[in-house]
Structure 1
Amino acid sequence: MSFSSYKNIRSVIKKFNLTYQENNYIIPQNLAISDYLRGEIEFSLREVVLENSELAICENLIYPILKEIWKNYYLEDYMLWSHEALEYDEDLSGVPDYTIAQRSPQGKVIFDRPYLVIVEAKKDNFTEGWGECAAEMVAAQKINESPEQTLFGIVSNGKIWEFGKLSLDRFVKNIKSYYISDLDELFGAINYLFDQCRLQLGNG
């Protein structure tokens, strides 16, 4: 089954015998936002037609934000991948929209251990988005063969950003959502996940 075959998070929880919880675990960590990016995001929200194109949302809202934060971390030995295949077995395979993965000692062209997956909520459908994202997180956990490590997931329609994490057999969804209308708070939340990925790399 492809990741998109999981239509809600319940189907992933049941199939892979996970437990599901909700609480607020995000601790936003302030990160300076360049005036250039602020201007680009404001321009895209004001002028770009986003409603009729999933690709437009990825290109104009989601990816620029991820890339800006990743610039502060790329020397920490991990990579930001766009639409790179993630395959474990016939039940867990597909292509996440974006992935944060360990930088391979073989060079940047080699996809290595994934720690964070990002899924666009297509047509604002967060229910299906979380089914897909949770399945990708399970695949990442199995690929890494380190179930005690924490894997992270984001589902976003560009304007709303939701967060989840998986460790051992426990999936936790953050109760609070973050919004592009408060770019500083959103950056702080995503920056927290990037820093947690850095800690995972240190333990890997």
Structure 2
Amino acid sequence: MSYSNFKNLEIIKQKFDLGIKSADSLFSDVEDINPSLLLTQLLQENVPLALNINTEKARSEFIIAPVLMEVRRLFKQQVSLFSGTDFSVDETQDLNGYCDFILSASPDQVFIEAPVVCVVEAKNENIKAGYPQCIAEMVAARTFNEQQRRPLRSILGVVTTGSNWRFLRLEGRIAWVDFDEYLISRIAKILGIFAHAITSATALND
């Protein structure tokens, strides 16, 4: 069994002893960060193209990846970004397989190093269907950080179609799902949420 086999929230709750709750405006206090001119121009060209092609691959390459590259630029390449990388952490707990995208608060771009701050799951249409897989990957990120003795208070998770972004937070025994869903037109808010998670992780691990 791998991350992609997790398709039911009840299984997630039982297997990892988690509560799953939704919250209004989970990130409402996070400050916006305006996108660079480069990202603005890329999204103006890429979003219509990706939506017309309408495949998960196109959305990942033309929308999601440029947004995550912008996050890396915000932190002057002191954050590493991995795409389609094997992230097998504990096969006995079925925490194995490939993640669409991973952000780590480490500049090492050769291997994934702790602390892993965020996992991003790309979906072509149904965001809700991606929750179980994303939460399993968040549990894996927390386990990985603990194994490397770089634990974080919380792990950020994202399920996105590129045009729509839904954020999750794993904290303690609760996986929180933000009730708000952000359109790509709210890119400043999306960047702000990523930056807040990375800044918090960096401060904790200094």
- Relative to the length of structure 1, the TM-score reads 0.86
Q: SS state of the match for residue 98, structure 1?
A: strand
Q: Out of 8-17 and 48-57, give the one that drifted further.
A: 48-57
Deviation at 1:79, TM superposition (A): 1.0
Corresponding position of 1:124: 125
Deviation at 1:129, TM superposition (A): 1.0
| Number of aligned positions between the proteins | 198
Deviation at 1:179, TM superposition (A): 0.8
Aligned amino acid, residue 7 of structure 2: K
Q: Distance in 1 between matches of 2:181 and 2:204?
A: 23
Q: Distance in 2 between matches of 1:138 and 1:19?
A: 12
Aligned amino acid, residue 25 of structure 1: L
Unaligned runs of 5+ in 1: none
Q: Out of 182-191 and 131-140, give the one that drifted further.
A: 182-191
Q: Is the 8 A contact 1:8 1:127 kept in 2?
A: no
Corresponding position of 1:101: 104
Q: Distance in 1 between matches of 2:100 and 2:175?
A: 20
- Relative to the length of structure 2, the TM-score reads 0.85
Q: SS state of the match for residue 121, structure 2?
A: strand
Shift of the 50–14 alpha-carbon distance from structure 1 to 2, 3 Å rule, reads farther
Q: Distance in 2 between matches of 1:46 and 1:78?
A: 28
Q: Is the 8 A contact 1:81 1:99 kept in 2?
A: yes
Corresponding position of 2:141: 140
Deviation at 1:152, TM superposition (A): 1.0
Shift of the 5–50 alpha-carbon distance from structure 1 to 2, 3 Å rule, reads farther
Q: How does 1:21-40 map to 2 (within 5 A)?
A: 21-23=21-23, 24-26=25-27, 27-40=29-42
Q: Is the 8 A contact 2:101 2:120 kept in 1?
A: yes
Deviation at 1:148, TM superposition (A): 6.1
Q: Out of 64-73 and 25-34, give the one that drifted further.
A: 25-34
Q: How does 1:11-160 map to 2 (within 5 A)?
A: 11-23=11-23, 24-26=25-27, 27-48=29-50, 50-74=52-76, 77-90=78-91, 91-103=94-106, 107-113=108-114, 114-121=116-123, 123-145=124-146, 149-160=153-164
Q: State the identity %.
A: 25
Q: Out of 52-61 and 20-29, give the one that drifted further.
A: 20-29
Cα RMSD (Å) of the superposition?
2.1
